[in-house]
Amino acid sequence: MKKFRFTSEMAIIAAAIVILGSILMIRAVGVADSGDFARIMWAGGIGYADDEPYKERYFGFAHTDYEYRQVLWSGYVSTQIIIVMIAGFISRIINSSFFDIRILSFMYSLLYIAALAIWMKYNKTRWTLLNAAIVAVTAFVFLDIGYIAYFNSFFGEAITLIFMLMTFGLALAVPQSEKPASKLLLLFFIACFCLICTKLQNAPIGLLLILIAARFWTLRKDKPWRKMILIGSSVLLLATAVMYLAAPQRLKHINLYQTVFYGILKDSPDPVAALKELGLPEQFKVLAGTNYFQTDTAIKQNDPILKEHLYSKLSHKDVLFYYMKHPGRFFQKLERGAENGMSIRPYYLGSYDQDKGKPYGTIAYTYSGWSEFKHDYVPNRLWFVGLIYLLYYAGIAYEYTRRPAARQRARIDIFACVGLIGLFGFAVPLLGDGEADLGKHLFLFNVCFDMMLAIGVVYLLGKLTRWGVSLRANGVRETP
């Protein structure tokens, strides 16, 4: 009879079941709505009670139960909608009275457990203690409540986290063997598609994921393999374009308003000169530092004059060119991003359902060791972000010179891509939405930054393990 062996994948699955089950299913910890839920939950035929007051609906309390509504698509495109629609369908079968958010959370949890298992399977080594360390680091960082509380919500951060880990776990799986399996490549492309179509902000990373796919070209020389790479890459490129083209007009207007008035003009030393350079009327200077959702602006956000001069004429390309001509201003925005870049969770959104009897806006801190340490002690400065990137890519460059084999270098390139996606996740929100809600918009950067830190810790532990093994081996050989 084959002897049972407890693997690293089993360990991370067991840890995930315990932590996800206790925090999400039993305690029902979630994240309150900041106003973004509607476009997602309507597509699943889910909504709030008509008589629920505004204060109870937004910011302070996370909801467990929702009412059923007519399915209504707002025009917003996201792979998250598919999961929400399935959850809504299942819920109607289980309970026809109301929708329990934990049904959606359970579906997310199953996907996340699969992602963690894949990540663990293709990152483990031949040393048991090092594998135990990888499990511990992964569980400590990526099962933190700051990450998983999003599962009990309609925020897109949940699916971004899931498919980020799944995409790179599958990416590492492809070059694992001498003849990579086509099914792993197919799963990689599916995960990539789900990741870039989660939200508009994630669309640009499709271009970087295509680079990973191109890196797989030399791993096999047969036509079916290369045909799959060409088709899969074309689909990712098309999906990236469609995400931009299909974005609702109102969402584009919101992002443009935020980028100009809550980005370029916010804290500008000369708003009039900035407006002139952008080709906008001087009278818009009264909007400097305002956001799209303010109700007390001197010029209303839907005023025809904004449509005439801003929404119909300006684009994010103009914003990019402005910052290229004023790198000092963009550097200031990057500094602002770094100040908000070490917070995994939005502390202004409550964690509990009102029925729990907690005060308005109460935050849950169960299993929050990593998110609280990162928030309180990790330097939220641009120099620190730069230092981590410098050390990370120095290690990658060092390994690249030591490992000439194509499969080994493919894995190194995959790790390099994590950092590049992090840079996209850091810069794109600032270019696309100004300084609005940076604590949440920098979520993708946080995931990539934490992946880099986890990879770095495991890399150093691996070096120490090999050094220790080498010392013991030399000691044995030198013994008479």
DSSP letters, 313-373, are: T--HHHHHHHHHH-HHHHHHHHHHHHHHTT-SS-TTS--S-GGG-PPTT----TT-HHHHH
135 with 50, same domain: the answer is yes
218 with 83, same domain: the answer is yes
Looking at the domain assignment, is residue 1 inside a domain?
no
**pTM, rounded to two decimals:** 0.91
Q: How many domains, the chain?
A: 2
Q: Looking at residue 477, what is its pLDDT? A: 44
State the Cα–Cα distance between residues 304 and 432, nearest whole angstrom: 22
Looking at the domain assignment, is residue 64 inside a domain?
yes
Cβ-contact 158, 150 below 8 angstroms? yes
202 with 257, same domain: the answer is no
414 with 279, same domain: the answer is no
178 with 301, same domain: the answer is no
**Helices (H), strands (E): how many in the chain?**
21, 3
Q: Looking at residue 298, what is its pLDDT? A: 87
262 with 237, same domain: the answer is no
Domain end position, chosen among 300, 325, 350: 325
Model confidence pLDDT, tens digit, residues 418-474: 999 999 999 988 888 888 778 788 999 999 999 999 999 998 888 887 776 666 666
Looking at the domain assignment, is residue 383 inside a domain?
no
Looking at the domain assignment, is residue 384 inside a domain?
no
Burial of 295 (0-12, 13-18, 19+ CB in 10 A): exposed
Residue the block writes with tokens 């996800």: 20
Q: Is the predicted pLDDT of residue 129 greater than 80, yes or no? A: yes
Residue 295 lies in domain: 249-325
- DSSP reduced 3-state for 33: strand
Q: Which of 188, 211, 201, 118 is nearest to 155 (CA)?
A: 201
237 with 278, same domain: the answer is no
Q: Looking at residue 474, what is its pLDDT? A: 66
233 with 371, same domain: the answer is yes
117 with 18, same domain: the answer is yes
Looking at the domain assignment, is residue 200 inside a domain?
yes
121 with 169, same domain: the answer is yes
Residue the block writes with tokens 């096999």: 220
Looking at the domain assignment, is residue 330 inside a domain?
no
Looking at the domain assignment, is residue 306 inside a domain?
yes
Mean pLDDT of 277-297: 88
Q: Looking at residue 2, what is its pLDDT? A: 61
Q: Which of 143-147, 243-247, 307-311, 389-393 has the lowest mean pLDDT?
A: 243-247
Model confidence pLDDT, tens digit, residues 147-199: 999 999 999 999 999 999 999 999 999 998 888 899 999 999 999 999 999 98
Q: Is the predicted pLDDT of residue 120 greater than 80, yes or no? A: yes
253 with 243, same domain: the answer is no
Model confidence pLDDT, tens digit, residues 195-240: 999 988 898 899 999 999 999 998 988 999 999 999 999 999 999 9
243 with 308, same domain: the answer is no
Q: Looking at residue 407, what is its pLDDT? A: 84
Looking at the domain assignment, is residue 3 inside a domain?
no
